[in-house]
Every structure is written in C-alpha cells, then in structure tokens.
Structure 1
Amino acid sequence: MSRSPAAIPGAPLLQAQGLGVQVPGPGREARWLLRGLDLAVQAGQCWVLLGRNGAGKTQLLSTLAGARPPAEGMLAVAGHPLAAWPLAELACWRGYVPQQVVDAFPAPVLDVVLQGRHPHLSRWHWEGEADSALARAALARVGLAGFEGRDVTTLSGGERQRVALATLLTQDPPLALLDEPLAHLDLAQQLRMLDLLAEDVRAGRRALVVSVHDLSLAQRVATHALLLDGQGGPALAGPVEQVMREDTLSAAFGHPLRCREIDGRRWWLPA
C-alpha cells in the first residue's frame, strides 16, 4: 500500500489548533491537563515533550497519535483532519510507540518487528523478502542483530524497548511519536537510541515528538520543545532555545534548575 496522494504539499506533518486534553478528576468532573495548544510539526524537527510526573505527557502523546480523542480543538496529519484518514493510511504516515508494550503471547522477534510493514501491504499480501530485509536492518540499527528468532517474551525490558524502536523503523513513518523510549535502557543505549532517532530527523526524513525525562538528553537532540505544567493552561511550545530556559524549566518542575555548558553541550543540573 502506498502513502495516500491526498496529502497536502507543504502542510505540517502534525498540526494542532486549540487542542485541549482532559483526564477524570476526583469526582465526576474532568480535570484539564492543558488547553489551547497550537502546534505545527514539520519534517526535520525534533520536538521534546517535557514536564513533571502527572503533567499529562502520556495523555497528550496518545491524543496526538489518535489513540484517545481530544476534549476540544482540532488535529490534522499532512493537512487533513485526523479522523478523515483511514487507519491503514494513517499508519503509513504516523508511528506511535507507547511507554510500555505488553506481549500477550510468545512470538519470534522478527515477526514482531515485521508488524511495522503491515500498513504498507494490501489485505491479501504477506510480507516478502524485501520486508524481512527492512526488519533485519532495523534490528541491526538498534543493536539486536541475531535476535530474529528469540522469543519476545524472554527479552529484558531494555531489549524489548529496542524491539519497539526497530518496529517503528520498519514501519518508517514520516511522523513518529514516542512516549519515554529511553525507559529501561542503560546510559550507553540511551545515547545510542537517541542519536539513532535523531539521525533521520537531521536528514529531513522524519519529524519526531518524544517525551524525555532527562533534560540534558532532551537538549542533545531537540530543535523544539513543548513544556507542560499540568495545571490545565496552555503549554509553552516553540524553538528549544525559547522553551528550555532556567526560569521556565524551574517553574514547571517546581525546583531551581541551572544550565551549564561543557564541551559544547548544555547540561541541566538541580540548584
């Protein structure tokens, strides 16, 4: 299946206008996590999603991905409302990696990664050699060459996280949304996976929206940032140098933070 020709040239890969996200409150009333979010994500941009625990990062990402409806506002992918896309065509444009993947049944790692090719196949076609080659190449990129025959349920948390990233690379969507993709990874793998994800962004092949807890790692790859305070007001969104500042981050996280530059990189430390 090819990507839909209906995409509007030059339109943002992801656009939000007046977006609002709610979660159930302590009573029957819903609680606003944010309101009035305007966002335009283009190819070649890496948006890092920042905020303290409970600020709404996971809920916002799942809303942007279409996994939960917005409480208000509009979402569009490639110039068309999210709801207007058939699911199979939307999956060719947008990839989503949740914070945690649960495997209900044993399956070979290669079969799991090949699920990324399903949106690109017609109803009556199976994966071919070219699809398997893409999946094997993706496993090699995440450092899991030789894992093709392993049972996915026997993997460590970090290995399973890298399988999810390999599935996304096999899907190869222009827009990728990832919720804490560095969770369960040791420091070396965090750096490797983050640089791998940013590689296609720097080449202009993909746009990335990713939630990251570590501010220094976020600063390493971000072109833009979206900062949530979890209080129901508008998020702060824009170029990274406008959002990732000592005053804004300290206020959002409720603790003084200081930025230090070492060897040409910016590092964030608690005061």
Structure 2
Amino acid sequence: MSIDKLAGSAAEAVADIPDGASLAVGGFGLAGIPWFLIEALLDQGAGNLTIVSNNCGVDGAGLGLLLEARKIDKVIASYIGENKEFGRQFLAGEVTVELTPQGTLAERMRAGGSGIGAFFTPTGVGTLVADGGLPWRYHPDGSVALASPPKEVRTFNDTPMVLEEAIVTDYALIRAAVVDKAGNCMFHAAARNFNPPAAMSGRTTIVEAERVVEVGELAPDAIHLPGIFVKRIVELTPEQAARKEIEQRTTRPRPGQLDAEPAHS
C-alpha cells in the first residue's frame, strides 16, 4: 500500500487548527521558517494561539504577521529577536512570553516528541530560570502580572541541575528542502535547526516542502526527520520554494574590491 500525505494546499493543511491551539514552529530568525503555512494560518483566522518557536519572526514577516494581527496569546521562545512589535506587546501586557534558554527550548521539544516527560540540565541554575520570578506577563502599568515559578534543582555528579518539562503541542509547522510522500524530510544547512525538534513535538505536524519526491528516492542517510512525525505535506511551487529572506544582510568587500576599477558599461 502506498503512502501519500500530500495536502491540496497550505490552506487545506491548516484548515482544522482551532482557536486556542498550541503550535511548534520551525526556523531560526527567518531561516527555515514555514512562510506559506504561517500565512495560510493568518488567512484562516485562528486566534488565542500559543506559539513555541526560537523567536517570533520579525516585524512584517513570519510569525510577526500573527503577532500584528493579535492572533497570539502566549509565546515560548529563547529571545525577542528582531521584532519590535513582539517587544512592545510583551512590555504592554498584551502577550505572555516564557523566555527559555535556547538549547533547553530545543531539548524540551525533542523530549516531547520522544516521550520523555522532563529532564535535568545545568543551564539556568542560579538564575531566575531556576529560582523563579522571571516575568512572563506584565500589567499595562508595567508591573508584573505573572512570573515564572521556581523549579526543582537536584545535584548529579556534584553538578546542580534544574528540572525542565518537555513540550508537546497540538500542531507543528515546519519547512524542509526535500520531502518524500511518506513525510521523510531532508533539511538544507541552517534550516536544520529548530525544524526537527519542532516537528517532533507536534501531535499533528505539517511540513511545507521545497521539493517532493517519491518514497525511496531519499537515501536513508539523507533523512534528517523520519516521516513518522509528519502528518501532512504541502508541496511548494518553484517560485514559492525560492522565497528565502533574512532579517539582516551583512557583507564585507572581497579582497581587492575597493581598489578595483569600476566596471564600464
């Protein structure tokens, strides 16, 4: 029996995501984010969402679009990033933000997909991460409305470690370079960051694929995420697959470039 998880469109793939759903979203900055699934979710209209992602897009792009539309109620992320509106909403008491150390966040998602309820890590011991009191939500007047609770700390091999709970979400939205019809995924370069753990943590994982191939075309060693974690695949057009923006473009002159004569037309 053949396996085919292809959805007809991004809109079809996200149609059943309800208000109040939790979603793990892949990507780092704007690298490897599921551009078209995010935009389809925005058009679909679901709100009061909990988002688990390394960051929350930027102003006017990625998850920043859902923030601007007031569709997000809570974010679990490692940093505010390049998103001024994200910072404004957090400080104004409009969104709850659970800041989590970056490696801990990745491991919480991976643990959720692996059936591990919690784990101990030395990261955050001796800080508000472990001791509690980290602001999660503010009142409009700037006072703290909700703060993080203290966490259990135990010592292993003479090293104190803090207990971190795994994350399991209702859905996950990810992007991959090549996906076969069974959902086996291969990621390109920096896109292989938060996409695999985000995919693992979602009960229903949806992937937008830059290219879809038949089952068996991907070599076993080329598969970065087994298809067991993927429920739906959205195949992008070549034009859509070419959309890869970055938050900040930083370049430097090549050796000799400044001394070179300008080209003549």
Give the TM-score taking structure 1 as reference length.
0.32
Larger RCO, structure (CA 8 Å, separation 6 or more): 1
Larger Rg: 2
